[in-house]
Amino acid sequence: MSDLSKTYEPKAVAELLYARWLGDENYRADPASSKPAFSIVMPPPNITGVLTLGHVLNNAIQDVLARKARLEGYEVLWLPGTDHAGLATEMVVERSLRKQRGIGRRDLGREKFLTLVREWRETHGRIIVEQLKKLGSSADWSRERFTMDADYSRAVQRTFVALYREGLIYRGRRMVNWCPASLTALSDEEVLPREEQSSLYFVRYPIEGEPGSFLTVATTRPETIPGDTGLAVHPEDDRYRKWIGRRAIRPFPRGPIPILTDPAVDPAFGTGVLKITPAHDKLDFEIGQRHDLPIVDILHPDGRIHCPAVPALDGLDRFEARKKAASLLEEEGLLAKVEPYLHTVGVSERANVPIEPRLSEQWFLRYPKVEEALRVVREGRVRFFPEHWEKVYEHWIENIQDWCISRQVWWGHRIPVWWREGSHRCQMESPGPDWVQDPDTLDTWFSSWLWAFETMDPATRQKFYPTSVLVTGPDIIFLWVARMIIAGLEFRPGHGPSAEENIPFRAVYFTGLIRDRLGRKMSKSLGNSPDPLALIEKYGADGLRFGLLRIAPQGQDIRFDEKQIEEGRNFCNKLWNACRFRVRFGRLSANARPWENPLSPFAVEMLSSLSQTGSRLETAFAAYEFSEAAGLLYSFVWNDFCACFLEAAKVDLAQEGSPTALGTLASFDYALSWILRLLHPFCPFVTEELWSHLELGPSTIQFAGWFTAAEARKLDERLGERKETALQARAIYQAAERGRHLRSTYGIPSNRKVPFLLRAEEPLAKAERNVLCALANASEITDVDGPPPKAPMVLTVLGELYLPLEGLLDLEVERKRLTSEKEKISRNWKAIQERLENPAVSARVPAEKLEAWKEQAVQLETAIHRLEAQLSELSE
């Protein structure tokens, strides 16, 4: 054993160890290995990305799984990579281009712009990869992939050609989500709902041939009136029955449009009359198709109005045109009223502007293997954690729609279709010099859905596919998870015909969303999103990982508080200090096993607790309950091992000639050996450093074995009947804890030695009495036959434990102090109660604040009851 420094310096340790791990190729996966396979593909972060707490959580969980599997004896492949992120990267580079040179991508031209993007990627695109290494990610970086790698790009294009030839990809003019800022189509999943305060305009449409008669329409978009080609009401709406089949006059440009009925109209919205603008609304398009209405497109791709027939609107931005249209209607006497209206608007995820439903010529995919994709999840071949996401997945699969896979961006996989004089060919290479390649690229997710298998060569796939588990966020359950399942089933990269061999992964773990202490989503604008690298610098990667995983329960959002990361750091320091204590006693013989030596009750109790912890960990990991696993380890190490056993061991080892000293040291080593291995997946750096200093096994902890349920049972068997002595140790620990609480109740500092009195039926042995004195910081523990005066008491398993107050404090002064404290807390409690009971206050306060007040009121009320009980004891 070698000496340990007084304090743990995580930064210096982490840099040296990670360089050594990579140099020794500890994470290189071997497809020829005879070990059983365990594999994960890393969800590829965007090359525009930097490390966030979401990345920390996701990759820490993957690393826990990978490191645990290595300890268990698996051949592990954790395959990393990055995503080209077509639209996101294009926007970042173009923004930089405009800032530096005052021009856009179209001014530069396609090829020059793509050269600029590739240069940008070389400079900035791997920042997040280097940051993931600082976290300790044990990925096989020799296999790092990029979605624009040449081999991967060819695979993407082959997939397009194959699906086209199967008749599953087609080109059509359909209603799509259009981003006027990015000038591209978007999928439904790339459109985010956002509540917006707007206006509802009530517009009068005159009835043709009926002077003074109108149908009034409620709309949020009067600027689209030039695109109206009909009005519709519900077939059973008696209010408008007499006008069905007649014609109304469109306000501008003036012209007759039919009045018709359609069951899709909501009679409860507005006036129950719907204006039909087939080119600019999905529902309107469907109604227009059913009634063969003309389609009039009145928007330029960038959101400006295209309507020469209405010069006052032509060329205006859509939002300026909205104000102008309302003004025109008012001038014509056709604007009945305007009301404020809160509604949900679809917003482009990347450009953060409202999208436009727009008819556009695009490439679409009819999803293959839909029924099979539903079946593999229902039958448990692919398991979701938490399970409730299965219902969400099923709902999407059962209502699946064709996928718009083309994008009007330049950075991405070019669609392998070639055009000449209106005809086209779908193939990998150009048919000849007269053919021009389709200008569109593929949706980024079209490349990502192949990630689980196209990142592997045949030998790797033979060994590691299907992968063991995918760790991702539930927000991309449709964008990525479902599509990867479909791709796996369709392209059958497995080595057999069964669905079991073609699924991309056997389990999916969905992480929660990290929020701040108030429950708000983290964002730069709110300033509530901490920099993980700053946290690593301050608390170490182990502290960040362990602190975050402890508060990340399965299926729930996480309330982040930096104090929890500080606790993670403190936990690592606690472990370090425990090992420093052990090093003082030198190395034992390799054959020194705890069960072959006399053991104190405290050693037996700790080993028994280790056994129970190991069994419970097995259950937690099997259920992907990472916070439960971290909590079990924290509780065992902090409480059972350090706070209890270690303190008892100090007493035992300080006693000259103690018969149990060797057993205590052997128990110490045995427990540390397993503690470090069990903690290694969560805290890789500190555990490896301690392992090397303590010389508990092989040169690296990473492959040293795992404490299985079988090992736990074996330990129980070895302890045998001695397990009964653990009851005495628990009795001592309980008495010490209640003694500490008793002295805390009366404000006696924990570092001040005080006498205790014990009234017990059975006298304590000297060794156990010494441990109780040490744990309770007692100057002495004296046996008594009856209740002493002026000494509050607590009941323990050992008997009645008394704290004689006479001489420790002035009882009258203590009464006054407690009374003053009670009055102060009572005032605070009353003030909070008044706020909670005041409707005017509670109506305007956020729900999170109300909950915080309620929680505070409960805590204050508990404190009042505690103080009243203390005052009662002092009076007696």
Give the residue ranges of the annotated binding site.
524
Alpha carbon distance 539, 10 (integer Å): 8
Q: Tell how far CA 412 is from the center of its chain.
A: 27
Tokens of residue 608, six digits: 């028994």
Alpha carbon distance 192, 194 (integer Å): 6
Any residues with CB less than 8 A from the CB of 156 and at least 6 apart, and which? 147, 413, 442, 446, 447, 450, 454
Element (H, E) at 255: strand 255-261
State residue 247 phi and psi, 5-degree precision.
-125, 145
Task: Sheet with 191-206: list strands edge to edge.
Answer: 214-219, 191-206, 335-348
The CA-CA-CA angle for residues 536, 539, 542, to 5°, reads 75
Whether omega for the bond prior to residue 788 falls within 30 degrees of 0, making it cis, is no
Burial class (CB in 10 A: 0-12, 13-18, 19+), 30: middle
Which residue is listed with tokens 């104090």? 563
Alpha carbon distance 288, 281 (integer Å): 10
State residue 349 phi and psi, 5-degree precision.
-60, -40
Alpha carbon distance 362, 868 (integer Å): 75
DSSP label of 216: E
* DSSP codes, 621-676: HHTT-HHHHHHHHHHIIIIIIIIIIIHHHHHHHHSTT-TTHHHHHHHHHHHHHHHH
Report the 10 Å Cβ neighbour count for 622. 9
Q: Tell how far CA 37 is from the center of its chain.
A: 26
CA proximity to 283, closest of 275, 240, 258: 275
Report the 10 Å Cβ neighbour count for 793. 17
Crossing angle of helices 626-635 and 661-679, rounded to 10°: 160
Q: Which amino acid is at 541?
A: A
E strands, 427-571, are 436-437, 441-442, 470-472, 507-510, 514-515, 558-559
Alpha carbon distance 460, 494 (integer Å): 11
Alpha carbon distance 840, 844 (integer Å): 7
In this structure, the dihedral spanned by the alpha carbons of residues 697, 700, 703 and 706, taken in order and rounded to 10 degrees, is 50
Task: Provide the annotated binding site for ATP.
Answer: 524
Any residues with CB less than 8 A from the CB of 83 and at least 6 apart, and which? 44, 45, 46, 47, 147, 444, 447, 448
Any residues with CB less than 8 A from the CB of 320 and at least 6 apart, and which? none
Burial class (CB in 10 A: 0-12, 13-18, 19+), 65: buried
Alpha carbon distance 51, 545 (integer Å): 13
Any residues with CB less than 8 A from the CB of 242 and at least 6 apart, and which? none
First to last CA, the chain: 56
| DSSP SS3 for 506 | coil
DSSP label of 478: I
Alpha carbon distance 511, 193 (integer Å): 21
